[in-house]
Amino acid sequence: MRGESSVLHLDLDAFFAAVEQRDKPSLRGRPVVVGGTGGRGVVATASYEARRYGVRSAMSTREARARCPHAAFLGGRFPAYREASRAVMAVLRAASPLVEPLSLDEAFVDLAASEDPALASLEVPAVTEYAELLRARVAEATDGLTCSVGVATSKFMAKVASDLDKPDGLVVVAPGTERELLRPMSVTVIPGVGPATAERLRRVGVQTVAQLEEVSEEELVRLVGTAHGTSLFHLARAQDDRAVVAEREAKSVSVEGTYDSDLSDLRLMEHLLVRQSAAVATRLGKAGLSGRTISIKVRLHDFTTTSRSSTLPSPTDDPAVIARVVRALLAELAAGVDTGPALRGGVRLLGVGVSGLADWVQDDLFAGLAEDTPEDAREGAEEPQELPEPPRARPTGWSPGADVVHDEHGRGWVWGSGRGVVTVRFETRESPAGPVRSFAVDDPALHRWQPEVADDPDGTEHVTEHGTEDVTEPG
C-alpha cells in the first residue's frame, strides 16, 4: 500500500453493448444483450437498459430473453471491441508507461510512473482532476464510450473504488481512509472471494470485511488454504503491495466449444477435437509460441468436467503433433472404466489447450531430442528383452493413428517419455489410403504414454522422442 493514491483502475461501462449502441444508433436507449445466441448461450454484457429488467452477465441467454424479450440480442463483433480496446489502451499508455490490461475493457495504470505534465502531483485533488481528464480522453478516442475509474493506494482499493460510482463515475480514495471504506462491505468485494469461499466464510459467521478482520490468519488458512488464507487476511486490512505489471506473458492457449446438443459419437468428438487442435496451433503460430503440455477438456451433459493432459519432451506448435496427442487423450478417456461410459452418455463441451509455453519454436525436432534423451529410455530401446511381460489384461483402449514399434517377438510397443516403455497390442487394417494401424494399451497404470512421434515420410515406423535409430522397425 502506497502513501499516495497513485494506482488507477479503469473499467469501460457495459463495454460490448456500449460499442454496439455507439455503432448502431437504432440501439441507443434500448436494451441490448451481447453474448451467445445459441441454445446454450450466456450473456457477456447487458446494456444498462437491459439490466433494469434483471439481465446480468453470465446469465443464460434463455433467461435473459424471458426477462427482457424486446431486447436486441447480438452475438458480438470482437474485431470492433478489440479496436475500441486498443484505442483506450493507447490513451492509458500515453498517460503512463505502466499499464496493465486485465481484459479488453479493464486496466490498471500506475500514475506514479506517469510523465504526463497534466498530472500536477499525486495529491488527491490533482489526481482527481487528472482522472477526469483521462475519462474525457477515453471518450474522445472511442467516439463516446464511457468508463468508470477508481484511484487509490493499491490495486485492490482502486478496483473497489471504480465499482462505487458506475456507470460513468470516478472515485478517488484518500490515503488512510481505506479500511473505514471497506469495513461495511461484503467479503465478496475481495478479489478471489467467489461463491465457494463466501459460503465457507458465511458458515463461520463472516459476511462483512469488518467481521473478516476479526478472524486470525491461522483460522483463515485452515478454512481456505495457505495462499488464499494469507491473501484474505491482508486484503481484509487493505494491505496490498501488488505492483502494476505492464507485460504479462501468456501461460496457455486454448479453444473450446459448447454444442447445442450433446455428443455421443466418439468419431465425431475426435473430429471436433482435431479441428480445435488446428485452431490452437494457428493461434500459437501467430503468437510465435509453442508449448509442451497438451490437454483436452470434456464437459458431460451433467456439467461434470474432466481433463487429460500429456507433456511432451519439447514444445510444439505443430497441428499434426497436437492432434495426435489429443486423439490419444480422447482414446484414454474412452477406455476409462468410469470415463468411457460417461463419454458415450453425452458430451456438451470439448476443448483443446496447450500450456507450458515457450516463446520459441523448435526448428529441428530431432536435433533437440538427441541431446536430452533420457538414459533409461535409450537402454530400453537397446534392450527390448527387458520390456515388461506381455500383457494378460484386456486392452483398455484403442488409439487410432499412433505409431508403434514391434520387437522381434512381434509384440507392439509405444515409447513413454522417460518413463520406460508401455506395452500395447496393435492391429493393422487395410484402408484405401493404405494400412491403418491401431493399438491398445494393456496396462491401465501405464497408459499415460507420450505419443510424440514424427511424421512418417519414408514409410517406416519410428519414434523420434528418444532417438530414432534405436527404435526403427526391423524390415
- Positions marked active-site: 106
| Beta carbon of residue 408, minimum distance to DNA (angstroms, whole number) | 26
117 binds DNA (CB under 7 A): no
No. of helices (H) and no. of strands (E), the chain: 16, 16
Q: Which helix (H) or strand (E) holds 312?
A: strand 305-316
In the numeric block, which cell numbers belong to residue 357? Answer: 509455453
User: In angstroms, how far apart are the furthest CA atoms of the chain?
Assistant: 84
Q: Which of 167, 174, 177, 176 is nearest to 138 (CA)?
A: 167
CB 25 within 8 A of CB 167: no
Q: How far is the CB of 171 from DNA (least distance, A)?
A: 16
Is 103 a binding residue for DNA by CB under 7 A? The answer is: yes
Cα 73–chain centre separation: 26
Number of residues this chain uses to bind DNA (CB under 7 A): 64
Asked if 244 and 98 touch (Cβ cutoff 8 Å), the reply is: yes
Residue 166 found at the interface with DNA (CB under 7 A) = no
Count Cβ atoms within 10 A of the Cβ of residue 360 and give its class: 0-12 exposed, 13-18 middle, 19 or more buried.
exposed
228 binds DNA (CB under 7 A): yes
Print the binding letters for residues 59-98 with DNA: x by CB under 7 A, - otherwise.
-x-x------------------------------------
Residues ≥6 apart with Cβ < 8 Å to 268: none
Q: By the 8 A CB rule, do 205 and 213 touch? A: no
Question: Among residues 122 and 343, whose Cβ is nearest to DNA?
Answer: 343
- Residues 282 to 341: which contact DNA by CB under 7 A? 283, 292-293, 295, 302-311
Nearest CB to DNA, comparing residues 303 and 431: 303
Q: Quick one: 119 or 352, whose CB is closer to DNA? A: 352
- Does 441 sit near DNA (CB under 7 A)? no
163 marked as part of a ligand binding site:
no
> Closer CB to DNA, residue 376 or residue 473?
376
**Scanning the structure block, which residue is given the C-alpha cell 483502475?**
9
Q: What is the CA radius of gyration of the chain?
A: 28
Q: Which of 69, 97, 176, 225 binds DNA (CB under 7 A)?
A: 225
Is 260 marked as a binding-site residue? no
> Which CB atom, from 122 or from 342, has the smaller least distance to DNA?
342
Give the β-pairing of 72-74 and 32-35.
parallel
67, 159, 327, 466: residue in contact with DNA (rule CB under 7 A): 159
Q: Which of 120, 143, 365 shows the shortest CA–CA distance to 132? A: 120
- For DNA, the binding residues (CB under 7 A) are 35-36, 39-42, 44, 57-58, 60, 62, 102-103, 105-106, 159, 190-198, 225-228, 250-258, 260-261, 283, 292-293, 295, 302-311, 348-349, 351, 353, 355-356, 376, 419-420, 448
